[in-house]
Chain A
Amino acid sequence: VDVLYFLLLAPLIAAVLLYVLPDHPVRDWLVRLAAVVIAGASVYLLATAFDKGTQLIAFPTEPAGLVLEGLGLAVALAILGLSIKYRKPVAAALVLVQVGLLLWFSVVYSPGMHAEHNLFADEFSIVMAVIIGVIGSAICAYAVPYMRTFHEHHPEIQDRRRMFFFVLFAFLSAMFGIVFSNNLAWFLVFWEVTTFCSFVLIGYTRTEEAIDNAFLAVVLNLVGGIGFTAALLWLGMTGGSIELDKLIAGGAAIALVPATLIGFAGLTKAAQLPFSSWLLGAMVAPTPVSALLHSSTMVKAGVYAIVKFAPVFANTLPGLALGLVGGVTFLAASAIAVTQSNAKRVLAYSTVANLGLVVACGGIGTYEAVWAAILLIIFHAVAKSLLFLGVGTVEHQVHSRDIEDMAGLITNLPKVGLMMLIGMAGMYLAPLGMLLSKWATLRAFIDAPGGVIFLLLVAFGSAVTVFFWAKWMGLLIARPNRGENIESRVPRDELAVLGLLAFLVVTVSVLFPWISRYLLEPYVFTLYGQIAQLGQDNIIIMLLMMGTVILLPASLLYFRKGRHVLKPYMSGRATTDDMRFSGSLGIQREMGLHNYYLEDLFNEPRTFRAGVAVTVVLIVLMFAGLVLAGGFA
């Protein structure tokens, strides 16, 4: 329990220290130290508490509650102030609505609602804490060399690194707050803090585009925040409980309305269609921010909320509609990812897509679905953070984030290239993590009511996923030019973090049976009294496959010997070593290799519009279903 308080406070203390300290190498070391300590503490929590089941903590409401209320208000005022400064009337109006609702709640209802247990920890929140603690901290440590290079490359941007690291660590603190809060009012405050943190980080460079995108993020997330606040108000009006554990235990009968409203908030935070645009816009921020938003924080808060309420959604109309929003998002975002050549946009759409699967699982809400959802969250966090940071490093060395410019990366940056290949394989290939989770998802969908539609969405979506990852991997291993190895230019600590994450992608996949047995199965069993698993035989076969995959590279030793290396077939044209050939009229041309983007088939604006149209209808249905179910009565 003490570790839990430590996790809530340590990042905050680190954040304040980092803000106070002057620009000095000591600060860099403090970031690294804080990262190691936070990661260590989260692992310690896992080691000591994984077998304790659900622990409810009767943390006293006052004065913490008051402090948090003040914090919520301060954040709102800060957003309001900035909206006025940058003349963003929509954001300002939404903040005012939000503050109004919140004040109404805290003046009229809050005093009458007492939470017995304000904090809690169970297997799911411990899993989340380890993701935040380990991956979030790794990203913070990576940000040290990255931001140094970033400012060397962009002298025109004001160096606000003190603020940057302050917000980075405050973000982690707020995320711990979200996953440990049992009091929904506290949950909401932390929720709004993450909105604010992402807002500041997206706007870091203060270019016009950055500011616009920061406000886009804040506007969409405030829409969700208002939904969340409405959930609290509804609970206040109907005399419901404000405690997460009681609501979930109460099931759909008492919790469907708040669950749906919070699920709606989750959709905005998890960047599901039709709200996905803010996450795409968030790419203007320095890459560690994207890595953080996509893997261990922000969007994960959104799906955490939805999966947390999954038992409430099971077999309800709003749950089905919510799940379909996720399913449609999965297919549409995967299709759009095919058409993108900007590496960060491909990663962003892939995040949106995978979170869609998690949301689909949450909406379906059966025991198998919850189990699959948590697996997806874990594996996605590891692989996606690796990929974002990898792209960040490549961008600094190759000066482009276009996939086409990464052709031959395995020659120029062999280690980084290899790690990115591991990350991508981790996103879609057997026997690595995400494929395991997709497998679990498929099985959950088949058994679910309305499963056919989910089945179709996931079958087509996965096929598309294979296409865009494999063609990217292909460009990395192709060697169109005999480029030089420039890996020595990459800062060592960047490589170290990438190496750690690549190691985690493989290890977590190998450890999967144990993660499932000691964390996920007990969690699912507590909620449903049933256990989901893949079966003993299958696990052995997966491990066999893993062994084969790990051993196969040994064959390279054999294949290196006695081979006669020739140039590729160029229709008999005279070709130089760096693949220049004599074209027509004696002009020498360079060979170029380009991926397919299938833009006529999966055209981005068209697919996006279609996805938005379908999901908007589904969200309307979600609320209509709530009324039909008599939820508001």
Chain B
Amino acid sequence: MNYLYAIVFIVLAPLVGGLIAGIDRKITARMQGRVGPPVLQPFYDLGKLLEKEHVVVALSQNYFVLGYLVFNLFAGALFFAGGDLLLVVFAFTLADVLLVLGAYAATSPYSFVGAERELVQVMAYEPMIILAAAGFYIATGSFFVTDIAAYPAPLIVLLPGLFLGLFYVLTMKLRKSPFDISTSHHAHQEIVKGVTTEFSGSTLGMVEVAHWYETVFLLGLFWLFFAWNPVVAAIALVIIYLAEIFIDNATARVRWGFALRSIWIVTLVLATLNIVALQLLGGL
């Protein structure tokens, strides 16, 4: 494993993630015919959040949110260090559950609903991510990100179904419409502020930073499909993210029941077909 990459991730990911968020907001604004905030706006927002008064609803909530940040960082660092993909997935689940517990601990009706909906999200995307990790293993013979990234052939050719499935799930992970069911950037379709309703000031700042880390990790996960050629990979990531922004602006939030069902069906069909095909090919 390469610990240098882990340190680079820990230092740079918030900058990259924040920048992506800024560009995202700019492009979104243009799509909606607005001028939009400066690209560095997410950092200004964060700075302001950190200055705010320490206000909480329950004393324990910050503890859970800190855990959310720490384990997002931990899982991402493990990924970029080249660690075991399944362990990365489990660490992210732990992080997400901690965020949910923070929302529960706040005991506000709105954050409570947000917590339940966030859990529906976890339930919706978890199978796809586990199956993707399994797919990488079946294709490359290793769970370690180092080995997967060093695989000489283009994995996108071997794992197109898993790629599409993950792309479908990515919308939810990035908290974008139509699957932004627990908390959303679009105020008009939100139940107050969902899972983050009761987080404010530096606590909300931690949630933001954790999300930036997660964004970089998710892009890293997609990188693996194209890792054999960095130029192609970079272009692919740009296209993927632009597509997500477009989908975000072109759709309205769906009901959580629909989100769950559709993601499960997509997962079931695409992952099964891909893995079975892969094993048949491997048997030849």
Contacts and interface: CB of A to CB of B under 8 A. Distances in A.
A467 B117 CA distance: 10
B258 to A, nearest CB: 11
Interface string B61-74: 01100110011001
Contacts of A569: 108, 110, 192, 197-198
Contact of B54 (A446, A452, A562): A562
Nearest to B271: A456
B86 interface: yes
Interface of A: 429-431, 435, 439, 442-443, 446, 452, 455-456, 459-460, 462-464, 466-467, 470-471, 473-475, 477-480, 535, 537-538, 541-542, 545, 548, 552-553, 555-556, 559-560, 562-570, 579, 591, 593, 595-596, 600-601
Interface string B230-261: 00000000000000000000000000010011
Nearest to B115: A474
A179 B182 CA distance: 49
Nearest to A471: B119
Contacts of B42: none
Contacts of A478: 104-105, 107, 112
Given A446-B137, A462-B126, A467-B120, A567 B91 contact: no
Contact of A548 (B60, B70, B103, B108): B70
Interface string B256-276: 010011001000100110011
Contact of A593 (B71, B107, B120): B107
Contacts of B60: 477, 556, 559
Contacts of A439: 86-87, 90
Interface stretch (B7-15, B92-100, B147-155, B220-228): B92-100
Contacts of A545: 71, 74, 91, 94
A463 B122 contact: yes
Contacts of B100: 470, 474
Interface stretch (B17-25, B43-51, B127-135, B156-164): B127-135
Contacts of B56: 559, 563-566
Contacts of B108: 568-570
A471 B131 contact: no
A442 B84 contact: no
11 contacts: A430-B91, A439-B86, A439-B90, A456-B271, A466-B119, A478-B105, A535-B84, A559-B60, A563-B59, A563-B62, A569-B192
Contact of A538 (B87, B116, B260, B275): B87
Given A446-B134, A480-B107, A537-B83, A555 B63 contact: yes
A566 B126 CA distance: 35
A460 B122 contact: no
Contacts of B54: 562-564
A567 B123 contact: no
B45 to A, nearest CB: 20
Nearest to A561: B54
A541 B55 contact: no
B215 interface: no
B57 A565 contact: yes
B109 A593 contact: yes
B218 interface: no
A562 B201 CA distance: 13
A541 B101 contact: no
Nearest to A429: B94
Interface of B: 1, 53-60, 62-63, 66-67, 70-71, 74, 78, 83-84, 86-87, 90-91, 93-94, 97, 100-101, 103-112, 115-116, 119-120, 122-124, 126-127, 130-131, 134, 137-138, 143, 192, 197-198, 257, 260-261, 264, 268, 271-272, 275-276, 279
Q: Closest 9 CB pairs between A and B?
A: A568-B108, A474-B104, A463-B126, A430-B90, A459-B127, A559-B62, A459-B130, A467-B123, A478-B107
A456 to B, nearest CB: 6
A552 B67 CA distance: 7
B272 A556 contact: no
B131 A455 contact: yes
Contact of B107 (A429, A459, A479, A548): A479
B55 A564 contact: yes
Contacts of B261: 601
A541 B78 contact: yes
Contacts of A570: 108-109
A568 B101 contact: no
A110 B104 CA distance: 62
A556 B63 contact: yes
A466 B97 contact: yes
A564 B56 CA distance: 6
A452 B269 CA distance: 12
Contacts of A535: 84
A560 B60 CA distance: 8
B107 A568 contact: yes
A549 to B, nearest CB: 8
A442 B104 contact: no
A456 B279 CA distance: 15
Contacts of A596: 116, 119-120
A231 B35 CA distance: 78
A568 B112 CA distance: 11
B112 A566 contact: no
Contact of B101 (A464, A477, A556, A567): A477
B61 to A, nearest CB: 8
Given A466-B122, A470-B122, A541-B78, A595 B58 contact: no
B105 A477 contact: yes
Given A455-B275, A542-B87, A595-B116, 16 more contacts: A430-B87, A443-B86, A443-B143, A452-B279, A463-B122, A474-B115, A478-B105, A535-B84, A537-B1, A552-B67, A555-B66, A565-B57, A566-B55, A596-B116, A601-B260, A601-B261
B98 to A, nearest CB: 9
A446 B135 CA distance: 9
Contacts of A560: 59
A571 to B, nearest CB: 8
Which of A462, A560, A565, A568 has most chain B Cβ within 10 Å?
Answer: A568
A143 B134 CA distance: 44
A462 B126 CA distance: 8
B127 A463 contact: yes
Which of B55, B71, B94, B101 has most chain A Cβ within 10 Å?
Answer: B94
Given A470-B97, A471-B116, A601-B257, A463 B123 contact: yes
A452 B63 contact: no
Contacts of B74: 545, 548
Contacts of B122: 463, 466-467, 470
A496 B71 CA distance: 32
Nearest to A581: B109
B134 A442 contact: yes
A464 B66 CA distance: 25
